Chains A and B, each alone.
Chain A
Amino acid sequence: MTDRRERTGSRLLRLLTSLAWILLVVWVAVSVTFVLSRIVPADPARLAAGLDAGPEQVAEVRAEMGLDQPLAVQYGRYLGDLLTGDLGRSLQTRQPVIDDLLTALPASLELILASYLIYAVIGILAGIAWAYWPRGPHTLLLRFGAVIGVAVPVFWVGLVLQVVFAGKLQWFPVAGNFDYEGTGVPKVTGMGLVDTALTGQLPLIGEALRTLTLPVATLVVTHLAVTMTLMRSSLEEQLKRPYVRTARARGVKERRIVFVDALRNSLNPVVTMLGLQLGWSLGGVVIVEVIFSWPGFGRYAYQAFSAFDYNAIMAITLLSTVVFVTVNALVGMIYPMLDPRLKEAR
């Protein structure tokens, strides 16, 4: 049928445009960071050559790194390397940046996935509960959580949790992720909880959980509020709509109205926000990883920014941009599933 063919055609077109958009944003991001990395007051060649290098040695290193070339040549070479997957070497670790990132990412992924699952689920449930039972003593707690979540700096939450639960009460370790050394746990995924779960030994799983608790709690406290308040206000707004009144007048069960009809209509902004939060997560873990010495992407980024490790910095911005844009594009594809009107409109 022509109708269907037209629809697949437009769907393909949409996919292509969003792909082109992703590429454009990534290219701009790469170019911006390239420019930024070259206007830096610190001289990367001097950093790489070491403190006691003479001017000749610095010049030698500079030529070796290709930093004596005109900017356009450097830019072209950088883009070319990028296309072949070469992100250059880190000045600090002297390893290829891609290897550094690959070793650091699992630890961050563990933090991100664990906290994301918790705050997404709790945020949605708490928001629904808040809209469904708008009065009562529990709203005090929810309001408190909402206020804390938007107004409190991440580093403060992390430090307070650390001081109280690791310092005073000593329930959790102060810093670091799951320590593989001497446990005999094979490093399969690099995520402590998953790897210990694979061995099936409860005390080890408990240990992995203990190391995860404080950083994850910090992320949950600071991310929960947005989802929760958005869910609440979105659902409350739907419950004021005429169709809800009509359904009530027709005698449809209240539960069905709230949890089936209104809930589905109210999910769109929540999904957007959850998408944004997932997209931002790589940047969001930096402070938490610094506080808890969690050896992941965030701490690597922190070290790269502090030492002006420019290859690493460019790789970090590149990776987080790719993640952010891709997640947003995926969220854009989820919309029509939630809201059939969008499907028709296109």
Chain B
Amino acid sequence: MTRAHTAAPGGDTRRSRAPRRPTWSQLWAGATVLAIAALLLVPGWLAPSDPYHLDVSQRFQPPTAAHLFGTDDAGRDIFSRVVHGARYSIGTSVVVVTAAALFGTVYGAAAAWFGGALDRVLMRVVDVFLAFPYLVFAMAISASLGRGLTSALIALVALWWPSYARMVRGQVLSLIKDYHVRAARTLGASGPQILRWHVLPHTYDQVLVRYTLDLGQALIALTGLSFLGLGAQPPTPEWGLLIADAKQYALTAWWAAVLPGCVVFLVTLNFMSLGDRLRRRGGPR
């Protein structure tokens, strides 16, 4: 009975449609999700060679069929490094946004649910966080915790959750006035039950849209920190670090810096368009 209202409002009015042929853009979205999953899960199958294998005789090779993205100053195959780096770059971004979304959701929901003085205090904290220039603070936190991918991760989570908290709080505030919540309360559902089954599920749509859009932004922020030497450390093939290393010889071996950057761009772009697609599917309520 407590599950009675988990369906999205209007979900029951949606007509069941006959299976349709997917559109090209749907196919593209599916393909990119699969490609990213493959990069994260089985990079070894996709990379032609060992990302750490040094071969000085092969240094600064321009892109060819053997070395799709060319080689770097130590003769390492850049394409293989990019493939193996996905785990660090995309993987960490996913962790960052997931942690921020989870924490922010719980925090915002708690603030809205308990209300009163606690809500005011909790939201003031959020306001303070949002009043920090986050780029500089990300750098400061990451530098202070000791340069490394974990420090960059912590720094980004610490600065990313407040926007989720604010968003979810607003939604929960309006949802708890809804009839279905009042009905559940009348029927004797407990506070946590109501939150879990009747309020939070309705916030997931918006959180998911934000989550997908943020994945791209987190990737840019994370690679930026690594580019400044505040994230991953050598010889990790993390993308930002890869590009930072290649910066020194960018004028002679452009591929080493430019091609991995293209990958960052493409991945971000796909996360953004995925988020956009979700938002449009959700539509204005």
Question: A residues touching B (Cβ–Cβ < 8 Å)?
Answer: 21, 24-25, 28-29, 32-33, 36-37, 39-42, 147, 150-156, 159-160, 162-163, 166-167, 174, 279-280, 282-284, 286-287, 290-291, 301-302, 305-306, 308, 313, 316-317, 320-321, 323-325, 328
**Which of B74-82, B133-141, B161-169, B192-200 faces chain A?**
B133-141
- Given A167-B250, A283-B133, A323-B133, are A153 and B265 neighbors across the interface (CB < 8 Å)? yes
Docked complex Cα distance between A162 and B249 (Å): 12
Interface contact A305-B139, CB-CB below 8 Å: yes
Q: Contact check, A305 vs B228: say whether CB atoms are below 8 A apart.
A: yes
Query: Provided the pairs A28-B128, A286-B139 are in contact, do residues A151 and B268 lie with their beta carbons within 8 angstroms?
Result: yes
Task: Find chain B residues with CB under 8 A from A320 CB.
Answer: 133, 136
9 closest Cβ contacts across the A-B interface? A283-B135, A156-B261, A36-B144, A167-B251, A324-B133, A283-B136, A151-B269, A305-B143, A151-B268
Find A316's partner among B134, B140, B244 (CB 8 Å cutoff). Answer: B140
In angstroms, Cα B228 to Cα A119, docked, is 25
Is there contact, CB below 8 Å, between B265 and A291? Answer: no
- Could you say which residues of chain A place their CB within 8 Å of the CB of B136? 282-283, 286, 301, 316-317, 320-321
Q: Is B257 an interface residue (CB 8 A)?
A: yes
Other-chain residue from B142, B146, B224, B268 in contact with A287 (beta carbon distance below 8 A): B224
Q: Which residues of B contact A37 (CB under 8 A)?
A: 144
Spell out B's residues near A (CB within 8 Å).
Answer: 128, 131-137, 139-146, 216, 220, 223-224, 227-230, 240, 243-244, 247, 250-251, 254, 257-258, 261-262, 264-265, 268-269, 272
Partner of B268, one of A153, A163, A166, A284: A153
Taking a contact as CB atoms closer than 8 A, the residue among A29, A150, A167, A286 that contacts B132 in the complex is A29
Measured between alpha carbons, how far is A313 from B230 in the docked complex, in Å? 14
Which partner residue on chain B sits nearest A35 by CB separation? B144
B251 contacts across to A, CB distance below 8 A: 162-163, 166-167, 174
Q: A25 to B230, alpha carbons, bound, how many Å?
A: 25
A21 CB contacts on chain B under 8 angstroms: 131
Q: A151 CB to closest chain B CB, in angstroms?
A: 4
Q: Is the CB of A159 within 8 A of B140?
A: no
Contact partners of B261 in chain A: CB under 8 A: 153, 155-156, 159-160
CB <8 Å contact, B272 and A151:
yes
Whether A290 contacts B131 in the complex (CB less than 8 A), given A42-B146, A317-B136, comes out as no
A147 pairs with B128, CB closer than 8 A: no
Given contacts A21-B131, A305-B143, A306-B143, 20 further A-B contacts (CB under 8 A): A32-B137, A36-B141, A36-B145, A151-B265, A153-B227, A155-B243, A159-B243, A159-B261, A160-B258, A163-B257, A282-B136, A286-B139, A286-B228, A301-B136, A308-B143, A317-B136, A320-B136, A321-B132, A321-B136, A324-B131
A287 touches B227 (CB 8 A): yes
Measured between beta carbons, the chain B residues less than 8 angstroms from A39 are 144-145
Q: Are B220 and A153 in contact (CB under 8 A)?
A: yes
Chain A residues whose CB sits within 8 angstroms of the CB of B227 once the complex forms: 153, 155, 287, 290
* A163 in contact with B250 (CB, 8 Å): yes
Residues from chain B with Cβ under 8 Å of A286 in the complex? 135-136, 139, 228
Query: Taking CB as reference atom, which chain A residue is nearest B219?
Result: A153
Cα of A212 to Cα of B260 in the assembled complex, Å: 26
Contacts of A25 in B (CB 8 A): 128, 131-132
Residues on B with C-beta less than 8 A from A41 are 145-146
Q: A252 CA to B230 CA in the complex, in Å?
A: 57
* Chain B residue nearest to A38 in the complex (CB): B144
A137 to B221, CA, bound (A): 33
- In Å, the complex CA distance between A279 and B132 comes to 10
Return B89 CB to nearest CB of chain A, in Å.
Answer: 11
* Shortest Cβ distance from B270 into A: residue: A151
> What B residues does A155 contact at CB under 8 A?
223-224, 227, 240, 243-244, 247, 261
CB closest chain-B residue, reference A158: B247
Enumerate chain A residues within 8 angstroms of B128, measured Cβ to Cβ: 24-25, 28
Nearest residue (CB) in B for A305 is B143
- Which residue, of A32, A152, A153, A154, has the highest number of chain B Cβ atoms within 10 A? A153
> Which of chain B's residues has its CB closest to A327's CB?
B133
In angstroms, Cα B240 to Cα A153, docked, is: 10
A25–B261 alpha-carbon span in the complex (Å): 36
Question: Which residues from A are CB-within-8-Å of B269?
Answer: 147, 151
Q: How far is the CA of A155 from the CA of B238 in the complex (A)?
A: 15
13 contacts between A and B (CB under 8 A): A39-B145, A153-B240, A153-B265, A155-B240, A155-B247, A156-B257, A156-B258, A159-B247, A160-B258, A174-B251, A308-B144, A313-B140, A324-B132
Docked-complex contact B133 and A159, CB < 8 angstroms: no
Measured in the bound complex, the distance between the Cα atoms of B139 and A316 in whole Å is: 11
- Which residues of B are found within 8 Å of A32, using beta-carbon distances? 137
Q: Which residues of B have CB within 8 Å of A159? A: 243, 247, 250, 257-258, 261
Report the separation of the CA atoms of residues A162 and B243 in the bound assembly, to the nearest whole angstrom: 14
- Check B131–A325 contact: CB distance below 8 A: yes
B258 touching A33 by the CB < 8 A rule?
no
CB distance B250 to A301 under 8 Å? Answer: no
